[in-house]
Amino acid sequence: MADAPSGADVVNNGALLTHEDKIIAVGSAEEILMHPSLTNASMLDRIDCKNQLLLPGFIDCHTHLVYAGDRSREFEQRLEGVSYEEIARLGGGIRSTVTDTRHSAQEDLVRGAVSRAKRMCSEGVTTIEVKGGYGLTLECEQKMLRVARSLETVLPVSVHTTFLGAHAVPEEFSGRSDGYIDLVCSVMLPEIAKEGLADSVDAFCENIAFSEPQVRRVFEKAHALGLPVRLHADQLSNSQGARLAAEFSALSADHLEYTDEAGVRALKQAGTVAVLLPGAFYFLKEQQRPPVNLFRKHQVPMALATDCNPGSSPVESLLLILNMGCVLFGLTPREAVAGITVHAAKALGYSDRGVLASGKRADFSVFEVESLAQLCYPVGTREPSMVIQAGNLVSKNPKP
Ligand code: DI6
Ligand code: FE
C-alpha cells in the first residue's frame, strides 16, 4: 500500500497485517514482512495496494437511519419561506415522520434502512450509530431499535443503537410534555434497557423540543440504568446544551452551532466529543457555524457525521460530509478524516476501532487517492477500491 494513516499520521509505503477480525501489526512494508508471526510467508494472503491510501473503516456516529416517508413537501414549504421551527410548531416536522413511522410495518422499515445503510457501506463505512426517536411510544421505539439492530445481521457493519425517546413531544401529549417525560423515564427507558435495545441515550434540548430540566430527568434515569448519554445540543439556539451534556459526562454533544466558549470548556473538561453535522447546517441554510476555532483552542475532539434523517439532513454520503466539513466549517482534510474515524469512535465510546493499530478491529478501506486532501476534495461520492470489515473482504471494485 502507499499510505496507511494510523490515528492521524500517514505512513508511506506502509503495510498492515491482520488475523481473523483483528489488526496484528502496522508498519513499513519491510517491518511487516519480517514480523515474527509470519513464519511461513507463503501462507500470506497478500493484497497489493500500491499507490492507494488505506484508511480505518469510517464511522458514521450520528444517524436517524430508521424512518418512513419523506418530507419533500416540507422542503418546498421552507423554500417558500416557512422556517424549520415554524413547521415543527404547526405539528409538521419530526411529528410527521412519527406518524409515518408508527404506521409502517417492521419489514418496510427494514427495507428503507437497509437500502440507506447499504449506500453508506459502499463508501467504506463499517460502523453506524442509529437512533430511534420517530416512534415516541414504547412499542414503536422498540420496533425502530429492533430494525436498527437487525442491520448487523444483513450487512457488513456494526451498529450502535441510541434511544431518543425525548426527540419531540408526541401529538397525544400536546401541552403535557412533562407527562411525556414521565412516560419516557418510568416506562420506556427501563423496558428498552431491560431488553438491551440501546447502547446509549440521546435527547433534543431545544425550545421546540425539551427543556434542560426535562433532559436532566432523562439523563439521570439513563445513568441509573447504566447507559451513557449524548445530546442534540445548541442546534438552533444557545440552550446551554453543551454544558448540560458535559455535566452528565456525555459521550458526545452534537450540532453545537450556538455553543459559547464556556460550553466548549465544559466539553473539554468532561472529555465529551463535539459532533459536527454540516448536512443539517447546509440543508436548513443555517448561518451560524459551530465554534471550530474554540474547539481547536481547547482541544475538544471534533467528529463529523451525516445526521441522515428525512427532515434536516437527507444525506447518506459520509464522503460528501467530509467535503462539507472542510468547505462549510473550515476543517483541514486531516481534521475531517479524524472526524469520521478516531474521533467518531470516541463519540461512540469505542476504543477498539477508528485507528489502524495493532489489536484494533480489522475494519478498513482502500482508496485510489494520494492524499487526505484528494479524498476530501470531490463534492459527492467516491467509491473505495476495497472495503474490509471485521477482517472480511466485503467489497472490491476492480481498477478501471
Ligand atoms: N435534530 C436533527 O437534526 C434531527 N433531530 C434533531 O433533533 C432532525 C429530525 C427531523 O427533522 O426529522
Ligand atoms: Fe440528529
Q: What does the pLDDT look like over 139-190, one tens digit per residue?
A: 999 999 999 999 999 999 999 999 999 999 999 999 999 999 999 999 999 9
Q: Which atom of ligand 1 is nearest to the CA of 280?
A: 3
Buried b or exposed e, range 192-218, using 16+ CB within 10 angstroms: bbeeebbbbbbbbbbebbbeeebbbbb
For atom 10 of ligand 1, the residue with the nearest CA is 311
Output the CA torsion sign for 186, 192, 196, 202: negative
CATH superfamily membership of 4-56+354-396: Urease, subunit C, domain 1 (2.30.40.10)
Q: Which CATH class is domain 58-347?
A: alpha beta
The pLDDT score that the predictor gives to residue 42 is 53
- Ligand 2 centroid–CA 63 distance in Å is 6
> Rounded distance, CA 64 to CA 114, Å?
13
Q: Which atom of ligand 1 is nearest to the CA of 97?
A: 12
C-alpha distances (whole Å) from 311 to each of 42, 116, 266, 279, 334 are: 53, 15, 30, 11, 29
**Ligand approaching nearest to the C-alpha of 167:** 1
| pLDDT (average), residues 329-353 | 98
CB-based contacts of 357, cutoff 8 Å, min separation 6: 6, 7, 23, 26
Q: Where are the beta strands (DSSP E) in 45-119?
A: 53-56, 58-60
Asked if 93 contacts 136 with a C-beta cutoff of 8 angstroms, the reply is no
For atom 2 of ligand 1, the residue with the nearest CA is 312
Q: Is the CB of 307 under 6 A from ligand 1?
A: yes
Pocket test for ligand 1, best of 307, 313, 315 (most atoms within 8 A of CB): 307
Pocket test for ligand 1, best of 232, 234, 237, 258 (most atoms within 8 A of CB): 232
The pLDDT score that the predictor gives to residue 5 is 43
Average pLDDT, the chain: 93
CB-based contacts of 1, cutoff 8 Å, min separation 6: 13, 14, 15, 16, 29, 48, 49, 50, 52, 53, 54, 366
> Rounded distance, CA 96 to CA 140, Å?
14
Judged against a pLDDT cut of 70, whether residue 399 lies above it is answered with no
Q: Is the CB of 74 under 6 A from ligand 1?
A: no
> Rounded distance, CA 56 to CA 7, Å?
9
Q: Is the CB of 316 under 6 A from ligand 1?
A: no
The pLDDT score that the predictor gives to residue 14 is 85
For atom 3 of ligand 1, the residue with the nearest CA is 312
**Ligand approaching nearest to the C-alpha of 279:** 1
**How far separated are the first and last CA of the chain, in Å rounded?**
18
3-state secondary structure of 188: helix
> Rounded distance, CA 155 to CA 194, Å?
26
Q: What does the pLDDT look like over 297-340, one tens digit per residue?
A: 999 999 999 999 999 999 999 999 999 999 999 999 999 999 99
Q: Give 304's strand partners.
A: 276
Q: Which atom of ligand 1 is nearest to the CA of 232?
A: 7
The pLDDT score that the predictor gives to residue 31 is 86
Q: Give 392's strand partners.
A: 389
Asked if 92 contacts 157 with a C-beta cutoff of 8 angstroms, the reply is no
Q: What does the pLDDT look like over 35-91, one tens digit per residue?
A: 887 766 555 678 888 889 999 999 999 999 999 999 999 999 999 999 999 998 888
Dihedral of the alpha carbons of 121, 392, 352, 43, in degrees to the nearest 10: -150
The pLDDT score that the predictor gives to residue 49 is 84
Listed by start position, the domains of the chain span: 4-56+354-396, 58-347
Q: Which atom of ligand 1 is nearest to the CA of 311?
A: 11
Q: Is the CB of 93 under 6 A from ligand 1?
A: yes
> Rounded distance, CA 289 to CA 278, Å?
9
For atom 11 of ligand 1, the residue with the nearest CA is 311
**Ligand approaching nearest to the C-alpha of 305:** 2
- Ligand 2 centroid–CA 45 distance in Å is 41
What proportion of the chain, given as a percentage, has pLDDT over 90? Answer: 85
Please give the model's pTM, rounded to 2 decimal places: 0.96
Dihedral of the alpha carbons of 319, 324, 326, 330, in degrees to the nearest 10: -160
The pLDDT score that the predictor gives to residue 51 is 85
Q: Is the CB of 57 under 6 A from ligand 1?
A: no
